[in-house]
Amino acid sequence: MRISTSLFLLVLPVLALTGCRQDMHDQPKYKYLRGSEFFTDGRSARPLVQNTVARGQMHDDSIFYTGMIAGPAGPAPATEFPIAITKQVIDRGQERFNIYCSPCHGQLGAGNGMIVQRGFKQPPSYHIDRLRQVGVGHFYDVITNGYGAMYSFADRVQPADRWAIAAYIRALQRSQNVNVADVPANERGELR
């Protein structure tokens, strides 16, 4: 019984190794940027067809994808939204803001989020004059590229959502800095 078990344990690895072949490892292929005799130009890789754009990489609306417009002194933040601002856009912006921005900026954009309460650097309030007067493209650009201690969210937040967040930031700014003159005359009586 011991001899048969020992023989079986010796034969088993040999049988297992016969099933391992090098076909996939040794398959004919061209390595990147290596020469080839197959094509007349001697290259193994074919050049890209002129004006070809990879799927998802056609960014033909530069304002939508950068948040910047051409200015006399170079690129400047866009002052207009490249998308229509609707209630759905504001709601989406609020949802994305609460997920990505409120941990640092707080739910009202005052710069007192939970991260700040735990001792990290405080971001500026969205309600200071400088940020209320800057073009909306500034917020898009900061979300995309980061600014100061804030890192880029480009890999987490899609371009349309960045604009939605910028729209929500503008709504936050308006909600915290309202004058009586901003209220329509026929509705001012309800404020008193």
For the chain, 192 residues long, give each residue's pLDDT as a single digit of tens: 778 787 777 777 776 666 666 666 677 777 777 888 888 888 888 888 888 888 777 778 889 999 999 888 889 999 999 999 999 999 999 999 999 999 999 999 999 999 999 999 999 999 999 999 999 999 999 999 999 889 999 999 999 999 999 999 999 999 888 777 777 888 878 876
Indicate the fold that domain 80-178 takes in CATH: Cytochrome Bc1 Complex; Chain D, domain 2 (1.10.760)
Single pTM value for the model: 0.69
pLDDT of residue 124: 93
Please give the Cα distance from 31 to 59 (Å, whole number): 31
pLDDT of residue 20: 64
Please give the Cα distance from 32 to 45 (Å, whole number): 7
Only one residue has tokens 């400047």, namely 76
